Amino acid sequence: MTEFKFKLVVAVRRDLDMGKGKIAVQVAHATISVSEEAKRHHPDWWRRWYDEGQCKVAVRVESEDDLHKLHSEAEELGLPSVIIQDRGLTQVTPGTATCLGIGPAPAELVDKVTGNLSLL
């Protein structure tokens, strides 16, 4: 197993029952948004993550409250973190928080927030 020093994690709400295409697009949206934020505030983290192979992991949470809790924890640690709200064109109500992106950042910092969550 390759050991990555930097990672980006997306936590996805499972309680919304989104289809796999919908989930994929939400995770992509979170990845783009949070990596742009990292690029602005931690360009060194972004660059090392990108060159290392852009480790990305999707994990699951059970509620919108979980997303907000993780978001607060990530911000307390100074990690790039973005909650994605869907436009609601398909499958969910407009403005629904669907997922949360954290990183790219040093893996040991990200793991403090998401290390105990199960893979999606």
Site string for a copy of itself, 62-91 (x = CB under 8 A): -------------------------x-x--
Closest distance to a copy of itself from the beta carbon of 97 (Å): 16
DSSP assignments along 37-86, one per residue: HHHHH-HHHHHHHHHHT--EEEEEESSHHHHHHHHHHHHHTT--EEEEE-
Using only C-alpha atoms, the chain has a radius of gyration, in whole angstroms, of 13
Contact status: 11 vs a copy of itself (CB under 8 A): no
Among 6, 11, 13, 27, binds a copy of itself (CB under 8 A): 27
Select 54 or 96, whichever has its Cβ closest to a copy of itself: 54
Identity (one letter) of the amino acid at 21?
G
Token pair 């990530």: residue: 74
**Reduced to 3 states, what is the DSSP secondary structure of residue 74?**
helix
Token pair 């990845």: residue: 31
Among 23, 61, 67, 97, binds a copy of itself (CB under 8 A): 23
Contact residues for a copy of itself, defined by CB under 8 A? 1-2, 10, 12, 20-21, 23-33, 35-36, 50, 53-54, 56-58, 60, 87, 89, 119-120
